[in-house]
Structure formats: C-alpha cells, structure tokens
Amino acid sequence: MLVVLRNRTYRHLFTAQVIALVGTGLATVALSLLAYDMAGSNASAVLGTALAIKMVAYVGVAPAVGAFADRIPRRALLVSMDLIRAGVALSLPFVSQVWQVYVLVFLLQCASAAFTPAFQATIPEVLPEERDYTRALSLSRLAYDLESLFSPALAAGLLTLISYNWLFVGTTVGFVASGALVVSVLLPRPAPVERGGGVYAKASFGTRLFLATPRLRALLALDLAVAAGGAMVTVNTVVLVRDNLDRTVGDVSLALGAYGAGSMVAALSLPRVLDRVNDRTVMLPASFALTGVLTALALGTAVTPGPWAWPALLTAWAVLGAASSMVLTPGGRLLRRSATTADLPAAFAAQFSLSHSCWLLTYPLAGWLAAKAGMSVATAALAAVALAAAVTALAIWPRQDPGHLDHLHDELPAEHPHVRDAIRVRDGWWHGHDYRIDTLHSHWPTPRRSSERG
C-alpha cells in the first residue's frame, strides 16, 4: 500500500493531510478546554453549538465553493484555505466571549469545507491508475483513524508541559506546514467547465449529479448508515462506559480505540480485497453489518449488563469501525467513476456536503433520544435508520453497473460533434460510451430493447 508514496506529489499531499489532521486534533482538545474556561458547566452547550456550526458550514459552503473550483488554481485555493485556518487557530486563544468562539469556528470550518473537497478531487488526478488511487484512499482512511488515536495522546503529553493555549499554536504550525507542502509541488490545473444557469445551478450541479446517478444515490444512503453507527459511537460511548457499565474514564478511550482499530484493520485490508471484488460487493454487506451491530446493541442495552457487556461493547465498536471503513474507503472510487475530471471538484463537494447532512441528522437523534427515552430506544432508532439506508442502497444500486452505457440523444442536431459517430434511429441518435452526468447527459438512461431503436 505504501508504494503510492513513491509519487512525490502524492507523498507531499499525504504528508500535508497528516500534519493538518494532527493540528486539527490538537485544536479539538484545546477548544474543549477553552469552552470549559469560558462557560464552566455550560461547556457542553458551547461545544454542542460549535459542532452544529461546523456541520452547517460543511453542508452549506462546500457546494458553493465547488461551483467555482474550476476557476481557481488548485494550489492557490488549497494554500489560501490553509492560511485562513492557521490565522483562525492563532486567534482563538485571544477570544473573551463565547460568540467570538462561534464566529471563529464558523470561519475555520468554512475554510475546511473549501479545502477538503478540493484536496480530495486532486488525488485521482495525481494518481490516475485505479489501483494506486485505491491505495491512496486506504492511506487516507488510515490517517484519519491514526489521528483520532494519536492527537489526544499527543495533546495529553503536551499539556503536562504547556498550557492549552499553546495547543492552538501547534494547530497553526500544522496548517502552515500543510500549506508549505502543497506549495512545494505542481498540481493539475482544474479543467474549465461550462455549465448553463446562474450561481445556484452551478452550486447545485454536484447534488444533481448525485441524485441522477444510481450508484451515487446508493452511496448517499450508505453514508447515512455510517452516520447512524458513527453517531452512536461519538455521542454515546461515554454514557455507555461510565453510566451503563460503571467503568473508568480510561475505558472510554479504550472503547473509542476499539472503533479506530477496527477501522484501521479494514482500511489496511481493503486494497487487496478491492483488487478482486467490486465496490458494491464490499460496501452493501458492510452497511447491513452496521445494522446488525446496532440491533444487537439495542437488545443488549435493554437488559441488565453482566460480565459479558464490556467485551461485547469492545467487539461491537471494532465491528462498527471496520464496517464504516468498508463503506467510506471505496466511496472515492465511485465518485471518480461517476464524474468527468472537470466535474470531480463539484462531485466531491456534493459528497462532502450531503454526507455531513446525514451526520447533522444522526448526531441529535443519538443524543436527544438517549437523554429523553433511554439508550436502548436511541440505539433501536439508529438501527432502524441504518436498516432503511442499507435496504435503499441495495434497491437502487444495480447489480450490473457497467460504466459503458448505450443511450439515445433526441435533442442534439446532426452536426453536433458528440453524435458524430452515433447511429441514426427513429427518434434520435443512438450511441454508447462511459456514461456520466454532465451538460449533455442530464439523466440516467433507461435500458432499451433493440427493436425500440428503430
């Protein structure tokens, strides 16, 4: 899997991603401590609001930036977003009011919402071979998992030597280093895209691409299943470990570590698996595994815990992590297969926005139901969401999903270059090619029998 790091451009981009992730992890710890200093017992409310602001920025900003990403040099966009994030991180220690935290968090997450999809869209252009790109996706997943384990430990070690405000300086250094690494390589220039309509049409193109492409509609449903399992882990681990099982604070970290370990094992094994089987064969069973674990957890939390409960929770979290990785890691392959090179920034921006919309639904569902109706009810609700999402994905993702599709054009004139080699039929022009939604193909073709072609 590490063979892709021989590519200098990708090696620098991957290192930039890792450094920025570590900086973000340090900022997460520091922001929690800052909120506690400013709000005391209301720190949870402050952090909850900041998390909601983060999701709103992700959902709203990414598609808007994706609409204009083809007009901005890729390197300039990435570096400017890193510098904005560095400036915000450096400003956070100097705030004195909670509303100032909210404003700075919004700016930080807007920059991240612009940076991340553009960065993701760059990788398939740097690594055009699918085998290499698959390994890059696994490395990226591994980086996220390692960050979730390493950053808190690094922060804990640093806090024995320095105050938490200095963690924001570490975050700033991380973003500046990320920008420097991006500057050090030449990136592909974004291909210009001509789309009709105004700003709204351009901003919504990626969403229309998702909704018109069966495999991407399935990917959105699978993102919802992952969000159901992930929200259970993120929101309710501390309650399950501390209250339901009456275990120590350290065991909270162990449980979260089990989730990360499961995800890492899956990410490491996926490149070889995906060399032999297609994405659908991996992703759909993983979504049903998420449903099964959540269902078992709902049953387990409804009874009095015994000695079996702790190892069962660790196993459940590891399986949830592995299943989530098996859905998330191949997702970039589906996007690459479903969009032209020029449309990749819009596609990744839409995926970034739509997937976070799923989390915006499941986060409060996991928290509010657990607080108001009990853990078993919350888990059962999330299991129902995951099941509905998995069944939907199974229904709308065709078992046979070829890239090359024959289809009809009934709106193009005979002299149009796109139908130069097409066959004239009764109601238009018939031809086939690798099919993607774009300005000439606004909907997915329906199969036609030979007799219908005239």
Q: Rounded to the nearest 5 degrees, what angle is found at the Cα of 287, between the Cα atoms of 283 and 288?
A: 120
Quick one: which of 67, 65, 177, 172 has its CA closest to 113? 65
Per DSSP, the residues of 314-382 read: HHHHHHHHHHHHHHHTTHHHHHHHHS-GGGHHHHHHHHHHHHHHHHHHHHHHHHHHHHHT-HHHHHHHH
Judgement on whether residues 276 and 143 belong to the same structural domain of the protein: no
Judgement on whether residues 266 and 168 belong to the same structural domain of the protein: no
Judgement on whether residues 39 and 159 belong to the same structural domain of the protein: yes
Domain end, chosen from 374, 397, 420, is at 397
Cβ atoms 352, 292 nearer than 8 A: no
Judgement on whether residues 17 and 99 belong to the same structural domain of the protein: yes
Query: pLDDT in tens for each of the 454 residues of the chain?
Result: 678 899 999 999 999 988 888 888 788 778 767 877 777 756 656 766 777 788 888 887 777 776 666 677 888 889 999 999 999 999 988 888 888 888 988 898 888 888 888 888 888 889 889 889 888 888 888 887 777 767 766 776 777 787 888 888 988 999 999 999 999 988 877 665 555 555 555 667 888 888 899 999 999 999 999 999 998 988 888 888 888 888 887 788 788 888 888 998 999 899 999 999 999 999 999 999 999 999 999 999 888 888 899 999 999 999 999 999 999 999 999 998 998 887 888 888 888 889 889 988 888 888 888 888 888 999 999 999 999 999 999 999 999 888 888 988 888 888 898 988 889 888 888 998 989 888 888 888 876 544 444 4
Per DSSP, the residues of 397-432 read: S-SS--SEEEEEESSS-TT-GGGTTPEEETTEEEEE
Judgement on whether residues 147 and 206 belong to the same structural domain of the protein: no
- For residue range 188-239, list pLDDT tens digits in order: 776 655 555 555 556 678 888 888 999 999 999 999 999 999 989 888 888 8
Quick one: which of 444, 381, 392, 359 has its CA closest to 221? 392
Placement of tokens 């387990």 in the chain: 300
pLDDT of residue 198: 52
Q: Which domain holds residue 261?
A: 197-397
Total domains in the chain come to 3
Buried b (16+ CB within 10 A) or exposed e, 293-303: bbbbbbebbee
Per DSSP, the residues of 239-281 read: HIIIIIS---HHHHHHHHHHHHHHHHHHHHHHHHHHHHS-HHH
Strand partners, 404: 434
- What is the three-class DSSP state of 94? helix
Judgement on whether residues 231 and 377 belong to the same structural domain of the protein: yes
Judgement on whether residues 283 and 365 belong to the same structural domain of the protein: yes
Cβ atoms 392, 221 nearer than 8 A: yes
Judgement on whether residues 329 and 207 belong to the same structural domain of the protein: yes
Domain end, chosen from 190, 209, 232, is at 190
Judgement on whether residues 348 and 381 belong to the same structural domain of the protein: yes
pLDDT of residue 41: 59
Quick one: which of 48, 56, 54 has its CA closest to 32? 48
pLDDT of residue 443: 87
pLDDT of residue 447: 64
Kindly list the distances between the CA atom of residue 368 and the CA atoms of 213, 245, 372, 378, in Å, as whole numbers in the listed order: 34, 20, 6, 8
Kindly list the distances between the CA atom of residue 439 and the CA atoms of 197, 230, 278, in Å, as whole numbers in the listed order: 11, 36, 28
Kindly list the distances between the CA atom of residue 366 and the CA atoms of 142, 144, 204, 314, 435, in Å, as whole numbers in the listed order: 26, 22, 29, 19, 39
d(CA 68, CA 192): 10
pLDDT of residue 391: 98
User: What does the H/E/C string look like for 111-129?
Assistant: HHHHHHHHHHHHHHHHCCC
Judgement on whether residues 185 and 218 belong to the same structural domain of the protein: no
Judgement on whether residues 164 and 240 belong to the same structural domain of the protein: no
Judgement on whether residues 321 and 230 belong to the same structural domain of the protein: yes
Q: How far is CA 449 from the centre of its chain?
A: 39
CATH number, domain of 334, equals: 1.20.1250.20
Q: Rounded to the nearest 5 degrees, what angle is found at the Cα of 122, between the Cα atoms of 117 and 124?
A: 110
Looking at residue 91, its amino acid is: S
CA torsion through residues 31, 32, 36, 42, sign:
positive
Domain end, chosen from 190, 213, 241, is at 190
